[in-house]
A and B are shown apart, each in its own frame.
Chain A
Amino acid sequence: MTMPGCMGGWRWGVAHTLMAIFLVVMALSFLSVIRLELVVNGLLIGLIMAVGAIGLSLVYGILKFANIAQGDFMTLGAYMCLFLLGTLFPRMNIQGTGLGPFTFGYPMLLALPLVMVVLATLAIGLDIGVYRRLRGRGVSTVVLAMTSLGVAIALRGAVQVLWGGETEQYPRLSRQFYQAPMDVRIPPDGIFIGLVTVTLVVALYLFLSRTRMGKAMRATSDNEELARVSGINTERVIWWTWAIGAALAATAGILLAVFQAQLLPIMGWRVLIPLFAAVILGGIGNPFGALVGALIIGVTSEVSTEWLSPSYKPAVAFLLMIATLLVRPTGIFGVKS
């Protein structure tokens, strides 16, 4: 996994790219070519996707297969949160909406971490029950990816059985958009989404670059055999990876449900493809490349709605990905192997 350790080069790469994108966007909006409001929306969607995409990239880095169930982990996380906010918490007399400027109430602040932990545990359970057995038999990564497709469909089925196929909502209070300068309207929960996602990204960065387990994860991603002969218990590393990947998926799912103000059993599956585009665009196996990839895809597909029908958003994302790969086959921050 290519990661910013203590080396400057990589980190500056990300910083410069983000800065360049920011300047271009600002220039365009000053020239009134695009509406800044679309950019803000794109950034919010991009941040949500980034959280899911980083999880995807981490799992790929360690386990070397594309976890197709990541989107449905998101869905499951969003619905678990619905269960807590709509069913369990009210029975325990924990309820409320309209915390501060937000649509949701304080129970969300309890539900989010709780769902992260539950989904992380579930992912470790899945590894013990399914993936570890397959690894033990030395199956190829294609088989693992197909297995994760099976897990994805099973999870979505479970959501449909438990909650039905109808659109659901978290308990919410309707709120006005914030009126920011330059005619920008920010959705009421935008600040919450920004805070949570940025906090998680920073926390993950610190984890991977400063802690013993974080460094062991990067080492395992680099070279599993060498990690083992260095004394690293790679099975433990794999559990951490699943746990973090699933906790990030849970967060992304819940934030997506908050942002769209609705839940659907297909919600995670729908963002899976853009999630992959973000990971590949940023350079596969590089979690912070996934962040940049997701932001680029979020902003571009949102801005494209100025001229194109919103149903073309995924097409825009993929055109962008293909164009980037033609110029840089390893993605923006990928390394040649």
Chain B
Amino acid sequence: MSLLAVQGIVAGYGQTEILHGVSIVVEPGEIVAIIGPNGSGKSTLMKSAVGLLRPTGGSVNFRGEDITGVAPENIVRKGLCYVPQSSNVFPSLSIHENLEMGAFVRTDDYRPRITEIYDLFPDLASRRKERASRLSGGQRQMVALARALMLNPVLLLLDEPSAGLAPMMVASVFEKIKGISSTGVAVLMVEQNAREALRLSARGYVLAAGHNRLEGPGRSLLSDPEVARLYLGG
């Protein structure tokens, strides 16, 4: 049974339909990348999966359970956590409070988890009382990842984790994602930085204009001449 199975999803904003029946699958523990040009519906697909958008057609299955149209605050409880592309931290809250919000649904003692997270992100530990609005783009991205990890998710959805970051930071964000994945967490990410993302991923999907265009193992997509021409800059 697949961890996440999105089937024939149709979704959009208001009258504008953006996804016209997209299907993707994520197996336990794997990294999957979704690439495609701007406007191909990558972020819309993410939002439909986590419940921020109510799909008008198709279904979303997570761990064998139909979660189509379930409210986002209930989906996270099932172990599917999501990091939006921009505005993905609470700017007026401290780093520590951002992590606490990540653990909002936990009723048990989550302090051991916070300690683990600080071990994973040592840069955050020393600045835990600082307001998130004062952090650099890269540090914010780390806070956003850390917040999403507070619930020990089974699947992490990342929308453009490297967007707007300096090249040095891009490398360290991908390094973190690799580290997270090595602990058994499955990762589904949307990326502009297609080459890096495919190199890291077991499998990849190429979306175009709200449809599935191509899919396959990360490495074979990398060497696919059409993918290269369209998305990897030749």
Contacts and interface: CB of A to CB of B under 8 A. Distances in A.
A226 B73 CA distance: 10
9 contacts: A3-B92, A7-B130, A212-B100, A216-B104, A219-B97, A223-B90, A225-B84, A229-B82, A230-B104
A262 interface: no
Interface stretch (A40-48, A50-58, A123-131, A231-239): A231-239
B91 interface: yes
Given A5-B131, A229-B72, A216 B92 contact: no
A229 B91 contact: no
B56 interface: no
B92 A5 contact: yes
Interface in A186-244: 212, 215-216, 218-219, 221-223, 225-234
B50 interface: yes
Contact of A234 (B73, B88, B100): B73
B120 interface: no
B77 interface: yes
Interface residues of A, number: 26
A290 to B, nearest CB: 15
Interface string B89-100: 111111011001
B101 A215 contact: yes
A227 B92 CA distance: 13
B129 interface: yes
A7 to B, nearest CB: 5
A1 B93 CA distance: 9
B76 A219 contact: no
A230 B52 contact: no
Contacts, number: 83
A226 B97 contact: no
Given A219-B97, A226-B88, A230-B104, 12 more contacts: A5-B94, A6-B96, A215-B101, A218-B93, A221-B92, A226-B89, A227-B101, A229-B73, A229-B82, A230-B76, A231-B73, A335-B92
B93 A212 contact: no
Interface in A279-335: 335
CB-based closest 6 A-B pairs:
A231-B105, A222-B90, A231-B76, A228-B72, A231-B104, A219-B90
Contacts of A232: 73, 101, 104
Contacts of B228: none
Nearest to A3: B92
B203 interface: no
Given A227-B101, A230-B102, A231-B151, A5 B93 contact: yes
B20 to A, nearest CB: 23
Given A226-B84, A229-B72, A219 B101 contact: yes
Interface of B: 50, 52, 71-73, 76-77, 81-82, 84, 87-94, 96-97, 100-102, 104-105, 129-131, 133, 147, 151
Contacts of B72: 225, 228-229
Interface in A2-27: 2-3, 5-7, 9
A232 B98 CA distance: 12
A330 B114 CA distance: 35
B26 to A, nearest CB: 18
A230 B71 CA distance: 11
Contacts of B129: 6-7
A94 to B, nearest CB: 41
Contacts of A335: 92, 133
Contacts of B151: 231
A134 to B, nearest CB: 17
B101 A216 contact: yes
Nearest to B105: A231
Contacts of A216: 101, 104
Contacts of A225: 52, 72, 84, 87
A7 B89 CA distance: 16
B94 A7 contact: yes
A222 B92 contact: yes
Interface in A22-41: none
Contacts of B92: 1-3, 5, 218, 221-222, 335
A228 B73 contact: yes
Contacts of A230: 73, 76, 101-102, 104, 147
Contacts of B81: 229
